[in-house]
Amino acid sequence: MLGIDLAGRRALITGSCSGLGRAIAEAFAEAGAHVAVHYRSPANPADQAAAQAVTASIIQAGGMAQTFAADISQADQVESLFKAIDGSFGGIDILVNNAGMDGVRALCSEGDIGAWESVVRVDLFGAYYCAREALQRMNRQKRGVILNITSVHEFIPWEGYSAYASAKAGLSMFTKTLAQETADAGIRVLAIAPGAIQTPINQSVWSNPKTLRDLDEKIAMGRLGTPREVATVAAFLASDLASYMTGTTVAVDGGMLIYPEFRHGG
Ligand code: BGC
């Protein structure tokens, strides 16, 4: 039991068929929220099955969830997604812009233009399309929370991932600007910057002992985080316990942002 109350809150968590999104969906449901589990496309049967499994496990645990599909990089699909959620849940109280991709590692001078654009379309435009739809509804009810999942790479530059780092830094400023636009309407907008969390997105790194050691050295706590360790913070921020918080980023990174390399020397 989390000790956090989201009873009856209607929450969409984008990209909740795996990784952080899945853990957030499960924690929210545990706190009593009605959860819209989202994945990208029924054309990908593995994702569809994974999303349906998340929904089923929430329902089996006594929670409430339903599965929805949409490519969030397409504005018209996002519009239909929110209409479908209206139809099932009667509106939305919490949006977690979690869906994201880091793309293929490539230096700016060598990378593919389309690949760069795809990352920004999902990580930044996708969050924008979803926030736009959510805010139209939240403004009417004078209540709501938007959580944007950024990354430590909203702060730390990352060679080979300029699209990802730029999108995440953009999402951070988007968070602050929306918070400013909506504070007087009773809406809170926050970001969580996860560090290295053990999820499918970085599996190639943590499944190899050599790259795992290199990553652990970049974390003050010396280990990767679990999706649950991000999900509990998300549940707290989305709840009324965080009623005086808006427009800021909370890092959940085991101390990646305190430059552990500077413990010695300098
Ligand atoms: C990325 C991970 C990476 C972490 C730390 C995250 O935003 O998704 O792949 O391990 O940042 O670099």
For 21-75, how does the pLDDT look when each residue is reduced to its tens digit (9 = 90+)? 999 999 999 999 999 999 999 999 999 999 999 999 999 999 999 999 999 999 9
Q: How confident is the model at residue 2 (pLDDT cuts 50, 70, 90)?
A: low
* pLDDT(1) > 90: no
- What is the pTM assigned to this prediction? 0.98
Pocket of ligand 1 (CB under 6 A): 102, 151-153, 195-196, 201-202, 205
Q: What is the position in ligand 1's atom list of the atom closest to the CA of 151? A: 7
Kindly give the distance from the C-alpha atom of residue 186 to the centroid of ligand 1, in angstroms, as a whole number.
32
Place of tokens 């309407």: 185
The pLDDT tens digits of the residues spanning 222-231 come to 999 999 999 9
Residue 75 burial by Cβ neighbours in a 10 Å radius (0-12, 13-18, 19+): middle
The pLDDT tens digits of the residues spanning 104-154 come to 999 999 999 999 999 999 999 999 999 999 999 999 999 999 999 999 999
Residue in 201, 212, 229, 253 to alter for ligand 1 test, most ligand atoms within 8 A of Cβ: 201
Query: How far is 9 from 238, CA to CA, in rounded Å?
Result: 10
The CATH number assigned to the domain with range 10-262 reads 3.40.50.720
Kindly give the distance from the C-alpha atom of residue 234 to the centroid of ligand 1, in angstroms, as a whole number.
18
| CA distances in angstroms from 165 to 9, 60, 80, 168, listed in the order given | 31, 38, 29, 5
Nearest CA owner, ligand 1 atom 4: 196
Q: How many helices and strands in the chain, by DSSP H and E?
A: 9, 7
pLDDT at 204: 96
Residue 164 catalytic?
A: yes
Q: What is the position in ligand 1's atom list of the atom closest to the CA of 153? A: 7
187-194 β-sheet, strand order: 64-69, 34-39, 10-13, 94-97, 144-149, 187-194, 249-252
Residue in 101, 102, 149, 205 to alter for ligand 1 test, most ligand atoms within 8 A of Cβ: 102
Q: What is the position in ligand 1's atom list of the atom closest to the CA of 215? A: 10
pLDDT cut 90: percent of the chain above it = 99
pLDDT at 182: 98
Q: How confident is the model at residue 99 (pLDDT cuts 50, 70, 90)?
A: very high
CA 46: distance to chain centroid? Answer: 20
Residue pair 5/27 in contact by the 8 Å Cβ criterion = no
Under DSSP, the state recorded for 224 is P
Mean pLDDT of the chain: 98
pLDDT at 234: 99
